[in-house]
A and B are shown apart, each in its own frame.
Chain A
Amino acid sequence: MKKLVVIGAGMASGRVLEHLFEADPAAYDVTLFNAEPRGNYNRIMLSPVLSGEKSFEEIVTHDDDWYAQNNVTCRFGEAVTGIDRDRKVVIGANGEVEYDKLVIATGSAPFIIPVPGKDLPGVVAFRDLDDVDKMKEAAGGRGRAVVIGGGLLGLEAAAALRLQGMDVTVLHLMGHLMERQLDESAGFLLRRDLENRGIEVKCQASTAEILGTDKVEGVKLTDDTVIPADLVVMAVGIRPETTIAKAAGVEVGRGIQVDAQMLTSDPDILSVGECVEFNGQLFGLVAPLYDQAKVVAATLTEYKTEFVPKELSTKLKVTGCDLFSAGDFADGEGREDIVFRDPARGIYKRLVIEDNKVIGAVFYGDTADSNWFFGLIKDGTDISEMRETLIFGPGFQGGATADPMAAVAALPLDAEICGCNGVSKGQIVEAIQGGATDLAAIKAVTKASASCGTCTGLVEQVLGVTLGDDFVIPAAQSMCGCTDLTHEEVRRLIKSQELKSMAAVHQELGWKTSCGCHVCRPALNFYLLADWPVEYQDDPQSRFINERKHANIQKDGTYSVVPRMWGGMTTPDELRAIADAAEKYNVPTVHVTGGQRIDLLGVKGEDLPDIWADLNKAGMVSGHAYAKGLRTVKTCVGKDHCRFGTQDSTGLGIKLEKKLWGSWSPHKVKLAVSGCPRNCAEATCKDIGVVCVDSGYQIGVGGAAGMDVKETERLADVASEQEAIDLATAFMQLYRENAKYLDRPYKWIAKVGLDWVKERIVDDLDERRALIERFELSQSIYQKDPWAEHVAEIADTYKPLADFQLEAAE
């Protein structure tokens, strides 16, 4: 009999042996090496063993009897250390074995990120039974576990450890979980489900160090956050285990290279499983390995067949997290999305269609039909006939379209609809059931929408949902083609449903596209950062170029640079620095702006970080001349110089600018402070304008002098400078929290009414204080000079990715 040696008793080689003995039990005398001190078991069921839902015995696939019956010489617990291809022997720790044919099935090795502390006891990978035992031991069912890696493996480990009773935190480097298998929307739902079972998830978390002296004590992130831990599981990825193959001189790329017969570069050596590379492709799921195993058995029995990689699909084996992904779900030309969201049931489904075929699918929450869809992908079925109803699955007859009121229908009864009067959906529903069947009646009974009125649309939708066809909702202007909701409705729902990420908004409010458009994304980015300054992370890619690069783009693609001049004041040193910068960077135009400061126009994008660094050195920061945010505070010279001046208008202007700068707002915000009613600073046509008088300060709001010229309306007269600053700050925050994106204050005030504004910030001192506190919290995060930040952190991104001009010129 010929001699066959197999290195590695894993899931792939197990299948090979089964097929081989089936085809010809007498063909080979088999020796099976395994580094693990045991034979083949169902590795993919390790998570239930870790959670305690299954015992190891239940997942063994080939036991001692099976090996004995098939005359397999088992050398378990013995790692192969070398292969001598000239003598055709395999070298194990306990001696050599000759072979006629050799199968390398060494699987993968977990990737361990090279950070300090990675070798501490209590840091484990998740690959085999020994790892599971180590985790169970370290945990003892208690304490804190940190799982590094939010992919398939990491999440299974996290869920299992949670079931064991540990406090679990998952750290994931990317923006959303399982980013290779899921898009952002599905990733958001998955995260929410995991959080609901008590697992903490941190995305964009990059591990810097594992802390501890004799055992692991915590994990430190690159942003210096420290998370205490008794156990750290590294599940960041795997690498094909190719060490012995490489040492033996078999051709190895990323994996052991094989042809369609699973032969390596040595015709007597085959390879199978996660250790192989076929046509540049690696494999990390069992389905293709099983196909490979058939081919290996065929090749060993001299029967010619071919390995053809097929479409793969992924599911996560965590109960309660139903997800499915298959095929290619990237956007592309000629590709179309069909998106279905049911916020009430937490369902998201997306199909990617190309040439009338389904080429990719991502489902969350309802995966019942996933096999049917997977079949459509694999078979390349023409779906043009069933296109309209395709997303509803095979059982669907007749058409239905996504319900524009689904988001409101899905709201829990305690969700607040009217923020002014604290009226919940439940109270409105009750009023409707009590006979209030139109808007006026609801207003009268509940007060909902009776104040600022921005929730009117939502109240109407609750009427619509509750009354059905009996109520016709007046059409309102939706934000953009991605949603039927208006800006005001979206703002309200972000607050009442505590939506804290773009993906949360998209899913819970039933967005019709997978990732929004250039109209809704900047607005949502603002709403989220204004409402959740701490929780939400600003998304530069959802900002218009001016705010992304902190400079105003010009018609020829150059930029303008405007440093702050607090209250319109400057010094010879600042002027000198500006002059030097203008010369050094060949600034073609220097202009004194209408906002009392100096604009350097025509700066090249690549020079921005350098010119900013120079201006920073002279003590200047960005003037935000590009921003939907605080722009300038114009002042006049005031009582220090002017014979009519009543108060220190320049000083107050500087104080206001220092307090408010750096904050983002729905539209730009401009201020001015004049020293007397002659009003040389034009304070009566600003968003917030202060006119000083003998008795104190007259504060006006809602002015403008752009496309519309508006005079301010008087908010209040106050006696002290502090009160003036407080009112301006509270007004700014009220505007930030309530206005529609791109509404200047005068437009917003026209909608909510000046009385509504006064009630909140002039009359209600508690509310005024609360607004100021919320503004200050936001400023603790956003009042940072963006120029200095970009110079320090991402100056490189202002340069071209590559420059071929020189090379070509040579």
Chain B
Amino acid sequence: MSTVANDWVDVGSLDAIPQRGARVVKTPLGCVAVFRTHEDRVFALDNACPHKKGPLAEGIVHGNSVTCPLHNWVFDLETGQAQGADQGQVATYPARVDDGRIWLEASFLQLRAAE
């Protein structure tokens, strides 16, 4: 299903994620949420809200942000930073799209494994 090329891992096709949506990628240390914005930018973040571990992949994606499904904290997808009055940050990982496929950096998997 997934192939490893250089430092980047192909995790699936861009079409598999709806615009303004997300899917998760499972790793030994928990899930990573892969988001697709309405303009086809792709971001990868830990799938756990710093507030009470809400699964961010299930939130509403708007512009360049996601709203946590549990208590509506809003996070910037690129920095992982909570917006507005809320304090907190989610870890982010390099992600890119090439030829309709989504790639995550392989080292992030190892990094997560080593933590």
Most chain A beta-carbon contacts within 10 A, residue among B12, B23, B52: B23
Binary CB contact string for chain A from 769 to 810 against chain B (1 if under 8 A, 0 otherwise)? 000000000000000000000000000110011111101110
With A541-B20, A805-B26 already in contact, the answer to whether A183 and B39 are too (CB < 8 A) is yes
* B60/A542 in contact, CB under 8 A: yes
- State which of A334, A543, A802, A805 has its C-beta within 8 Å of the C-beta of B11: A802
* A541/B19 in contact, CB under 8 A: yes
The residues in A between 587 and 610 inclusive whose CB is less than 8 angstroms from any CB of B are 605
* A553/B58 in contact, CB under 8 A: yes
From residue B27, how far is it (CB to closest CB) to chain A in Å? 5
Most chain B beta-carbon contacts within 10 A, residue among A175, A522, A545, A605: A545
* B60/A335 in contact, CB under 8 A: no
* A333/B109 in contact, CB under 8 A: no
Does B31 make an interface contact (CB < 8 A)?
yes
Task: Considering the complex, give the chain B residue whose CB is closest to the CB of A794.
Answer: B18
Report chain A residues within 8 Å CB of B1.
802-803
Report chain B residues within 8 Å CB of A183.
39
Does A451 make an interface contact (CB < 8 A)?
no
Report chain B residues within 8 Å CB of A557.
53-55, 58
CA separation between A743 and B78, bound complex, in Å? 35
Tally chain A residues at the interface, Cβ within 8 Å: 42
Report chain A residues within 8 Å CB of B64.
331-333, 335
Task: Considering the complex, give the chain B residue whose CB is closest to the CB of A184.
Answer: B38
Task: Considering the complex, give the chain B residue whose CB is closest to the CB of A183.
Answer: B39
* B12/A802 in contact, CB under 8 A: yes
Report chain B residues within 8 Å CB of A801.
11-12, 16-17, 23-25, 34, 102
* A805/B38 in contact, CB under 8 A: no
* A804/B79 in contact, CB under 8 A: no
The residues in B between 35 and 94 inclusive whose CB is less than 8 angstroms from any CB of A are 37-41, 52-55, 58-64, 67, 69-70, 72, 74, 76-79
* A804/B38 in contact, CB under 8 A: no
- State which of A516, A605, A804 has its C-beta within 8 Å of the C-beta of B109: A804
CA separation between A555 and B55, bound complex, in Å? 9
From residue B54, how far is it (CB to closest CB) to chain A in Å? 7
* A555/B70 in contact, CB under 8 A: yes
* A331/B37 in contact, CB under 8 A: yes
Does A486 make an interface contact (CB < 8 A)?
no
Task: Considering the complex, give the chain B residue whose CB is closest to the CB of A809.
Answer: B28
* A805/B69 in contact, CB under 8 A: no
- State which of A800, A804, A808 has its C-beta within 8 Å of the C-beta of B23: A800
Does A549 make an interface contact (CB < 8 A)?
yes
Report chain B residues within 8 Å CB of A542.
20, 60
From residue B25, how far is it (CB to closest CB) to chain A in Å? 5
* B74/A802 in contact, CB under 8 A: no
From residue A803, how far is it (CB to closest CB) to chain B in Å? 4
Does A514 make an interface contact (CB < 8 A)?
yes
With A333-B79, A801-B24 already in contact, the answer to whether A516 and B62 are too (CB < 8 A) is yes
* B26/A330 in contact, CB under 8 A: no
From residue B39, how far is it (CB to closest CB) to chain A in Å? 4
Report chain B residues within 8 Å CB of A797.
16, 18, 23
* A540/B70 in contact, CB under 8 A: no
From residue A522, how far is it (CB to closest CB) to chain B in Å? 7
Task: Considering the complex, give the chain B residue whose CB is closest to the CB of A540.
Answer: B18
Does B6 make an interface contact (CB < 8 A)?
no
Does A642 make an interface contact (CB < 8 A)?
no
Does A446 make an interface contact (CB < 8 A)?
no
Binary CB contact string for chain A from 255 to 296 against chain B (1 if under 8 A, 0 otherwise)? 000000000000000000000000000000000000000000
* B67/A803 in contact, CB under 8 A: no
Does A136 make an interface contact (CB < 8 A)?
no
From residue A159, how far is it (CB to closest CB) to chain B in Å? 26
CA separation between A390 and B74, bound complex, in Å? 29
Report chain A residues within 8 Å CB of B113.
808
Tally chain B residues at the interface, Cβ within 8 Å: 47
- State which of B9, B60, B78 has its C-beta within 8 Å of the C-beta of A333: B78
Task: Considering the complex, give the chain A residue whose CB is closest to the CB of B77.
Answer: A333
Q: How many residue pairs between the two chains, A and B, have CB atoms under 8 Å in the bound complex?
A: 118
CA separation between A548 and B59, bound complex, in Å? 10
From residue B62, how far is it (CB to closest CB) to chain A in Å? 5
With A329-B39, A522-B60 already in contact, the answer to whether A553 and B70 are too (CB < 8 A) is yes
Task: Considering the complex, give the chain B residue whose CB is closest to the CB of A541.
Answer: B20
Does A544 make an interface contact (CB < 8 A)?
yes
* A804/B63 in contact, CB under 8 A: no
With A518-B60, A544-B60, A545-B69 already in contact, the answer to whether A800 and B31 are too (CB < 8 A) is yes
* B67/A518 in contact, CB under 8 A: yes
CA separation between A335 and B41, bound complex, in Å? 13
- State which of A334, A555, A800 has its C-beta within 8 Å of the C-beta of B24: A800
- State which of B26, B39, B72, B77 has its C-beta within 8 Å of the C-beta of A802: B26
Report chain B residues within 8 Å CB of A545.
58-60, 69
* B72/A518 in contact, CB under 8 A: yes
Task: Considering the complex, give the chain A residue whose CB is closest to the CB of B37.
Answer: A331
Report chain A residues within 8 Å CB of B37.
330-331
CA separation between A557 and B56, bound complex, in Å? 10
- State which of A541, A556, A800 has its C-beta within 8 Å of the C-beta of B18: A541
Report chain A residues within 8 Å CB of B11.
801-802
* A804/B69 in contact, CB under 8 A: no
* B76/A513 in contact, CB under 8 A: no
Task: Considering the complex, give the chain B residue whose CB is closest to the CB of A522.
Answer: B60
Report chain A residues within 8 Å CB of B25.
800-804
From residue A339, how far is it (CB to closest CB) to chain B in Å? 11
Report chain B residues within 8 Å CB of A540.
18, 21
CA separation between A804 and B109, bound complex, in Å? 8
Does A202 make an interface contact (CB < 8 A)?
no
Report chain A residues within 8 Å CB of B12.
801-802
From residue A744, how far is it (CB to closest CB) to chain B in Å? 20
Does A23 make an interface contact (CB < 8 A)?
no
Report chain B residues within 8 Å CB of A184.
38
Report chain A residues within 8 Å CB of B58.
545, 548-549, 553, 557, 605
- State which of B38, B41, B70, B102 has its C-beta within 8 Å of the C-beta of A515: B38
CA separation between A704 and B77, bound complex, in Å? 39
Report chain B residues within 8 Å CB of A803.
1, 25-26
Task: Considering the complex, give the chain B residue whose CB is closest to the CB of A482.
Answer: B62
From residue B81, how far is it (CB to closest CB) to chain A in Å? 9
Report chain B residues within 8 Å CB of A544.
60, 69
Task: Considering the complex, give the chain B residue whose CB is closest to the CB of A556.
Answer: B53
Does A517 make an interface contact (CB < 8 A)?
yes
CA separation between A796 and B28, bound complex, in Å? 21
From residue A236, how far is it (CB to closest CB) to chain B in Å? 15
CA separation between A542 and B23, bound complex, in Å? 16
Does A521 make an interface contact (CB < 8 A)?
yes
CA separation between A605 and B55, bound complex, in Å? 11
The 7 closest A-B pairs by CB, nearest first: A333-B78, A330-B39, A331-B64, A801-B23, A518-B67, A541-B20, A545-B58
A to B CB contacts below 8 Å, 21 in the list: A183-B39, A331-B37, A331-B64, A332-B64, A333-B76, A514-B63, A515-B20, A515-B38, A517-B67, A518-B72, A518-B74, A545-B60, A545-B69, A553-B58, A605-B58, A796-B16, A797-B23, A800-B25, A801-B11, A801-B24, A802-B12
Chain B positions near chain A (C-beta within 8 angstroms)? 1-2, 9, 11-12, 16-21, 23-28, 31, 34, 37-41, 52-55, 58-64, 67, 69-70, 72, 74, 76-79, 102, 109, 113
Knowing that A515-B38, A801-B11 are A-B contacts, what are 8 other residue pairs whose CB atoms are under 8 Å apart, sorted by A's residue number?
A: A330-B40, A541-B19, A541-B20, A557-B54, A800-B23, A801-B25, A802-B9, A805-B26
